[in-house]
Amino acid sequence: MSTEAVPLPPVAATPGLDQPAARVLMWRHHLRWWEALPWLAAVAFYFIFPDYLGFATALLVTILFALSLDLALGYAGIITLGHAAFFGAGAYTVGLLAFHGIWTEPITSLALAALAAAVIGFASGVVLLRTQGLTLLMLTLCTMALLQEAANMAHDYTGGFDGLPSLDIAPLFGFFEFNPLYADTQYLYTLAILLVCFIFIRTLVYSPFGQSLTGIRENPLRMHAVGAPVRRRLIICYTISGAIAGVAGGLWAQTNAYVNLSALDLDRAATVLIILILGGYGRLYGAFVGAAAYLALEHFLARIYPTAWQLGLGLLLVIVALYARNGLLGLGEVLWQRYFVRRAAT
């Protein structure tokens, strides 16, 4: 389906490392020159557009959230409509700790957010990942709705529908003031967290563990047959993905200084799914492209013409589903190959 799906080399060919498939497997985890581009762009953005750092921080959080979904959906093929459950778990962990004055240090709060989301990811993964297809879709959706209702019901602690406003976050490293007025601190902090998480995810998907996830996505029966512990791997992947989504949710709560029920919305889960597929799933950088394209369009269009934005988004989704299944990145790759590779060949 995606270009990441490289067929395993036949056993007889293992000594021949010059086989094209073997070469792809050996080289695919090496860094490419263009992989530095997003990070250079992020640093450049800091200096060129200091007035838009709030928007850029939201973009970085969305990228991280989409990356976490890419791990579960793009690599392991777990089709979920409820990924906001983990985002919300992280956001409410940070929010509750800060609002009730229990713990406000930003970095350790994020670690706790990741832990809380991982616990929920593990618990739900153990139960849900036995199913697939529509049943799995419904179960993930219901789990998220359940958490949202629970957050709504625990009004005394979570503020219910109104959420938890004006969270106090302690200064970063005890030195840099941390609130939405200091957009530059928040931006660099979010960028650093994103970089750390990205390096982790990138290492993970190119590790043997990540390869086996891709195998499970492409053909679970064959992975069972070769003796891979399919369910255990899926649960581990779902837990890690949940933890990273929890970090994204925690960052969202910290940088906005509030939490409300929208963190657990179907809207949020659907949006991150759209962003990931728009950019291209199962390829890491799809999250970057999708989030940047979506948020930029939304930022400029949705405020002025909300209905036209909705219509345009709908048409775009239909077109992507029908003609560009690998998203914008996949489309770019096809064009690149058609134009440059064919030219080089002739």
Site residues for other proteins per CB under 8 A:
1, 73, 79, 81, 127-128, 130-135, 137-139, 141-143, 145-146, 149-150, 152-153, 155, 266, 270, 273-274, 277, 281, 307-308, 310-311, 313-318, 320-322, 325
Please spell the DSSP secondary structure of 81-101, one letter per residue.
Answer: S-THHHHHHHHHHHHHHHHTT
Residue 17 or 150: which CB sits closer to other proteins?
150
Residue 36 or 270: which CB sits closer to other proteins?
270
Cα gap 232→234, rounded to integer Å: 5
Residue 94 or 129: which CB sits closer to other proteins?
129
Neighbours of 80 (CB within 10 A): 24
Cα gap 284→291, rounded to integer Å: 12
Minimum gap (Å) between residue 31 Cβ and other proteins: 29
Residue 60 or 261: which CB sits closer to other proteins?
261
Minimum gap (Å) between residue 77 Cβ and other proteins: 9
Phi-psi region for residue 121, left (φ > 0), alpha (ψ -120 to 50) or beta?
A: alpha
**DSSP letter assigned to residue 19:** S
Whether 278 and 328 have beta carbons less than 8 Å apart is answered as yes
Minimum gap (Å) between residue 48 Cβ and other proteins: 33
Instruction: Give SS3 for 143.
Output: helix
Please spell the DSSP secondary structure of 39-93, one letter per residue.
Answer: HHHHHHHHHH-GGGHHHHHHHHHHHHHHHHHIIIIIIS----S-THHHHHHHHHH
Residue 145 or 331: which CB sits closer to other proteins?
145
Residue 62 or 158: which CB sits closer to other proteins?
158
Q: Measure Cα distances from 59 to 41, 111, 142, 283 in Å.
A: 13, 21, 27, 18
Minimum gap (Å) between residue 201 Cβ and other proteins: 20
Minimum gap (Å) between residue 79 Cβ and other proteins: 5
Minimum gap (Å) between residue 179 Cβ and other proteins: 32
Residue 41 or 270: which CB sits closer to other proteins?
270
- Count of CA atoms in the C-beta half-sphere (13 A) of 109: 31
- Going by C-alpha positions, the residue among 232, 319, 304, 244 that lies closest to residue 63 is 244
Whether 131 and 141 have beta carbons less than 8 Å apart is answered as no
Maximum distance among all alpha carbons in the chain? 70
Residue 145 or 188: which CB sits closer to other proteins?
145
Minimum gap (Å) between residue 142 Cβ and other proteins: 5
Give the H or E element holding residue 285. Answer: helix 285-297
Minimum gap (Å) between residue 273 Cβ and other proteins: 8
